[in-house]
Amino acid sequence: MKTAPRVFKQWALLAIVFGATAALTAGAQTTTAPATKPVATSNAMSKLIAQYSPWAGSRENATSLVQGLNTGSSVTLNAAGGGTASTFTPASSKLGVGEVGIALSLAKASLAQQGITNPTPAQLSAALNGGVITSSTSTTSVAGVLTQRQEGSGWGQIAQSLGVKLGSVVSASKTDKSKAGAERTARQSKAESSQKSEYANHSGGSASGRSGHGGGGGGGGGSKK
């Protein structure tokens, strides 16, 4: 009669041990998902971002465009002055950095043909993915640079469909890039020159003060004589 309770207690103890072990195992298997790492920006991508920042409306918009086209991820474009933003996923697959530059240069050329040099987020989205582009003078339906690319068209064919030459568009893009670089260099040189001028003026004023102070001291010595 005493054996049954003892066996029961042993089984109960084993159940508790196994339950604790199972809980520990489940806890060990549960891992926290790693935090999403920000997209690394290469030197070439940084140059593209700087080049297209004025056209895209801001550096943030250009960054989203370049990284989105490169990784095939969602692109978010914010409008200046609190206007309507636009979010879209590139119609094409992932593009190399060089292809990103070509795609943006063709989209820019497509919009320029309609007299649009400072596009809204909606106009940018349509030029890339296709849709209706509305300007102050017209409303035009476009196939979209990335959509044509995804459908198998080469960059030269896409340029031809826009009525432009790929080489000319890319060359113009590089020229704009060079101008942007020259403007940045000029601004930096101007800032450095201004700093040097301020330093020289400050140094000259200090030297003049020291000279006047020395002259006064010399005059005092003469009066003692």
Q: Is residue 23 part of a domain?
A: no
Domain tally for the chain? Answer: 1
Q: Is residue 141 part of a domain?
A: yes
Quote the CA–CA distance of 200 and 182 in Å, as a whole number. 26
Mean pLDDT estimate for the chain: 77
Q: Is residue 30 part of a domain?
A: no
- What is the per-residue pLDDT for 13? 55
Q: Is residue 9 part of a domain?
A: no
pLDDT digits (tens, 9 = 90+) for 94-121: 999 999 999 999 999 999 999 999 999 9
Residues contacting 145, CB < 8 A, separation 6+: 103, 106, 107, 110, 127, 128, 158
Instruction: Report how far Cα 63 is from the mean position of its chain's Cα atoms.
Output: 2
Quote the CA–CA distance of 19 and 21 in Å, as a whole number. 5
Q: 57 lies in which domain range?
A: 43-179
Q: Is residue 26 part of a domain?
A: no
The pTM assigned to this predicted structure is 0.62
Q: Which residue has the higher pLDDT, 161 or 174?
A: 161
Q: Is residue 47 part of a domain?
A: yes
- What is the per-residue pLDDT for 212? 52
Q: Is residue 97 part of a domain?
A: yes
Q: Is residue 119 part of a domain?
A: yes
User: Model confidence at 189, in pLDDT bands (50, 70, 90)?
Assistant: low
Quote the CA–CA distance of 150 and 193 in Å, as a whole number. 50
- What is the per-residue pLDDT for 135? 86
Q: Which residue has the higher pLDDT, 186 or 152?
A: 152
